[in-house]
Structure 1
């Protein structure tokens, strides 16, 4: 599927935009009722993963508290989830000391029998 680019001076109508996004989503079999707003949720979640707080995300998207919490973000407290997973609640750290744990070769061979091939 090819989406034709518009010139810089051209505007798209809402129905044209919705139709283009609908075609792009249906091609791989994605169903969504929020065709024109589908990127808003992913933008908010990506900002949250980058350690932006909810107030910053809400201001950037010009959303009220109800909209951002009920529509675009999960209701899970990010700091709590990060700390339960073993990550610090501040900054963008993703290193876990337990990930550096060396396991025996025999365990690896049991888990992945074709590892030596």
Structure 2
């Protein structure tokens, strides 16, 4: 299957855009309900994953609050979840001090009996 992009000077019609995305997604067996807006949601979620400000994401996509919160971002309270997991609620810091602790050998032997072999 080969998808032919339109010439640079030619405007791409909605139908052609939808059809080419549909072909690209159906090839590996993906059947999305949204084709032409699939990148909008994924780019908004990716920006949210790296702690981008929701207002900045909304402005970049030119969305109103209802659209971005209802269609493109997850409904999970990201800052609250980060704080409960032991992360800071700002920036891209993913270090948890407790991950540097070594569990006692007795616990390791109970969990992994073959660890000494």
TM range (shorter): 0.7 to 0.9
User: What number of residue pairs does the alignment pair up?
Assistant: 114
Distance 2:97 2:6 in 1: 50
Question: Which residue in the other structure is 2:51 paired with?
Answer: 51
- 1:107 aligns to what? 108
Superposition deviation, residue 27 in structure 1: 1.2
Q: Which runs of 5+ in 1 are unaligned?
A: none
The normalised TM-score by structure 2 is 0.83
Aligned to 1:31, the other structure's residue is in SS state coil
1:105, CA displacement in angstroms?
A: 9.6
- In 2: Cα distance, 1:101 partner to 1:49 partner: 26
Q: CA-atom RMSD, angstroms?
A: 2.4
TM-score scaled by structure 1? Answer: 0.83
Which ranges of structure 2 fall in alignment gaps of 5 or more residues? none
Instruction: Report what 1:38 is aligned to.
Output: 38
